Structure 1
């Protein structure tokens, strides 16, 4: 198959799939999601993505109708059905299907599982990014990978209209994360990244780059940093599951980074090698 969709046990091409209007995702965005990339039918860092998915659901009191192992088995089986070496693998759970009501439906209403898979060309060449900054007006539970992404959508669109690739959010002076990735900095040989509190999503790629820093003896500082530090950094690093370690060359029209290329190259190569090794 070229693409594959799944909804509560039903399979078809994504474009043929339908969902009930009363799925609570339609009214309230009442659900959580996660996503990963697959190569050679191997989903990279699947255990970490599944753990984050179950954590997000638990924080919203959504009961996933599968165990972790059952969901992993389902995802692994599904990637084998799509005719592509590299795939984008997306899954979400919603609280269920019921008549519109703000309160939770009764215990007889079961959660809904959605899965979509589509071919994807993973970019191993690391381009330089142009970024903009924007005040972070999202809610105070950014650690939950919720379906409610309108602020992120608006920020991503503003970046595109500014001929940039990503938006860096900040609350006052404190830098939090980007619209769909994490942001970190390198200064004086130290890798600095925001702590995984309720203001940022605990990115899987963020965790992997921290692991690589520790492997190479690069000090890691997981404390908040501010806009001044962002602009003055030796390197500005953007990480996500699809882009292992991107660097910024411009923020709000001002040049940034480019002062620690050896560290960046070492991290980029190690992260790509890790991905290729685990998905060979």
Structure 2
């Protein structure tokens, strides 16, 4: 994936090859920071308001000062796309750390480090059409997963294990209760109803997750925010996950066992269609083109 050259920092736009940080950067040494990944379709942000609101919630949760107010963030992010002449499908990675200072666990008296860059991101069309396989893993993360922090090592290990088993994702669980995936939210469909873990501190309150609640309501599909179990996963009529990168992704296999007939389910397909319409994805880029 191509990274566009101009990166937004708290000191203006910098060429990506010239951007450096001191070795005593708290994001590097402590994971002391937060981030967002914002989807772009045909040059326009999708769910931008939801991402910016979550950015400020995460900052408040770790007592981190964002160097811009919300309106300034919107303006800067618009400038980022304009200066990089972004026209296609992409994503913006935005990160804020507590800054650079002599290594000490207590907060330093220094300005935060802020940067955001654009990376081209093609849609996962094959996976959306055919569905993906996943594994299950014990959820070993901390108790404040609602904060979109840089502390992602347990997520990385779970995702790597999935890759080594030729799978797309890892569904996490605390004992028998399913929470979410390593980098996405997860749902089951049973008897025409959608179930997903409620918005507690144990999951990330996903922006696409919030949109799916609205889409389900518009489609008259009941969505119940209630934790389900590993056993429920195995007996579900449909299983799917959502994220900014994955959209509404059908899951067709769990721990190498097929989900029902091994094909994307009707409720999942309906939600993905509604997602494409809401994101204003052009017909020639849809996975539902008439053949």
1:88 lines up with 2:76 in the alignment? no
* 1:154 maps to 2:167: no
Q: How many matched pairs?
A: 277
The unaligned stretches of length 5 or more in structure 2 are 283-291
1:269 and 2:267 are equivalent in the alignment:
no
Instruction: Tell me the residue number matched to 1:74.
Output: 76
Cα contact 1:193–1:224 (8 A) shared by 2: yes
Query: Structure 2 CA distance, aligned partners of 1:150 and 1:197?
Result: 21
Deviation of residue 93 (structure 1)?
Answer: 0.8
The secondary structure found in structure 2 opposite 1:144 is coil
- 1:214-233 equivalences under 5 Å are 214-233=217-236
Q: Counterparts in 2 of 1:40-55, with a 5 A limit?
A: 40-55=42-57
Q: TM-score, normalised by structure 2?
A: 0.90
After superposition, residues 187-226 of structure 1 pair within 5 angstroms as: 187-226=190-229
Deviation at 1:39, TM superposition (A): 2.7
Structure 1 residue 223, shift from structure 2 partner: 1.0
Matches within 5 A, 1:51-70: 51-70=53-72
Superposed CA deviations along residues 59-87 of structure 1, whole A, max 9, x for unmatched, are 00001111011011101110112244222
CA contact (8 A) 1:248 1:257 kept: no
Q: What is the RMSD computed on CA atoms of the aligned residues? A: 1.9
Match of 1:247, SS state, is strand
Alignment-derived partner of residue 289 in structure 2? none
Measure how far apart 1:118 and its partner are.
1.5
- Contact 1:129/1:246 (8 A) holds in 2: yes
State the alpha-carbon separation in 2 of the partners of residues 35 and 119 from structure 1.
Answer: 12
Matched residue, 1:131 = 134
Counterparts of 1:257 and 1:63 in 2: how far apart (Å)?
48
**Corresponding position of 2:121:** 120
Q: Which residue of 2 aligns with 1:166?
A: 169
1:218-272 CA distance string (max 9 Å, x none): 1111011111011111111110012211111111111114588322221111101
Please point out which of 122, 142, 145 is paired with 2:145: 142
Residues 1:124 and 1:69: Cα distance change in structure 2 (over 3 Å): farther
Residue 104 of structure 2: aligned partner: 101
User: Distance between the aligned counterparts of 2:5 and 2:39, measured in 1?
Assistant: 14
Q: Distance in 2 between matches of 1:2 and 1:212?
A: 32
What TM-score, normalized by structure 1, do the two folds share? 0.94
Q: Which runs of 5+ in 1 are unaligned?
A: none
| Deviating more after overlay: 87-96 vs 37-46 | 37-46
CA contact (8 A) 1:42 1:76 kept: no
Give CA deviations for 1:5-64 in whole Å, capped at 9, x if unaligned. Answer: 233224334343211222211110100001111234321110100000100010000011
Alignment partner of 1:239 is 2:242:
yes
